[in-house]
Structure 1
Amino acid sequence: MTIPNIFLALGLGAIISIYFPMIAQSAKILGSGPLANVPFFGIAFAASIAIALATGNRLGDLKKVPEIPPWLLTAGIMSAGLIIGSSYIIPRIGIGPFFVLLVAGQVLAGMVFGQLGLFGMAASPLTFAKIGGAAMVVGGVYLVTTG
């Protein structure tokens, strides 16, 4: 893992900490999580095309989309569910508990997916260190969510 990649990942984490509350506020204004999701996906679509073109990709390569296995396209449904779910839950439990629960879910699922080598990822066997780290994450979740 390189230093630039570490900083990129940290930056993406910071963006998520802004992104989800923005969506929750939009849902509050519109009175609907699903409706709040619509303009974000429209803007994300346009931004994705602009970024792809700016980084040397060609729109003609989109003709390969039918080659993507249908199960991979369910990531779009997951994305919508994640955004709509966050707009629902953040006002109810708060941003701090939301993020520690979100990270804990990622850590625990990542360990299972890694152990089983799911989703085209190389298998990464569980170790005592990983289990200990996950236990600390769960302990941190308890401390943050129970005060």
Structure 2
Amino acid sequence: MIKWTIKTFEELTTQELYALLRLRSEVFVVEQNCVFQDMDNADQLALHILGYDDTLNNELVAYTRIFGPGIKFDMCSIGRVVTSSRARGNGTGRKLMEHSIATVEDRFGKVPIKIGAQQYLDKFYSSLGFQQSSEMYLEDDIPHIEMIREAN
């Protein structure tokens, strides 16, 4: 079972910050073999959604960061969507996105949400109500598309 926590940057403990940076590095840098500057000075402006798995000694297995309008895009956005390889295949990614969408709606109201998604995940994000809103572009040599989930 996943226990969800929502924190501002200032509320994160050093242990939580280390765990989220480690998870992002584990997946985005090592697993995806992509050298990029993950720490982009935007974490300080984000709400951080952390998912801990109580069956894995409360290990951080799921994470996103949420921005209000005007920070990353002109509308609210969800980024750095990541699940640990130890938590895939059981719906954790879907739960993470559903929790992130609910957090946006709780904090900002029923507003449009924009994401920059890896292109191969377009069907996953479409199943959550997101629609492609840009042509494919390369980000760190990985095909991406922008997607928007209209306010419901």
Scaled by the length of structure 2, the TM-score of the pair is 0.24
Larger RCO, structure (CA 8 Å, separation 6 or more): 1
- Scaled by the length of structure 1, what TM-score is found? 0.25
Higher strand proportion, which one?
2
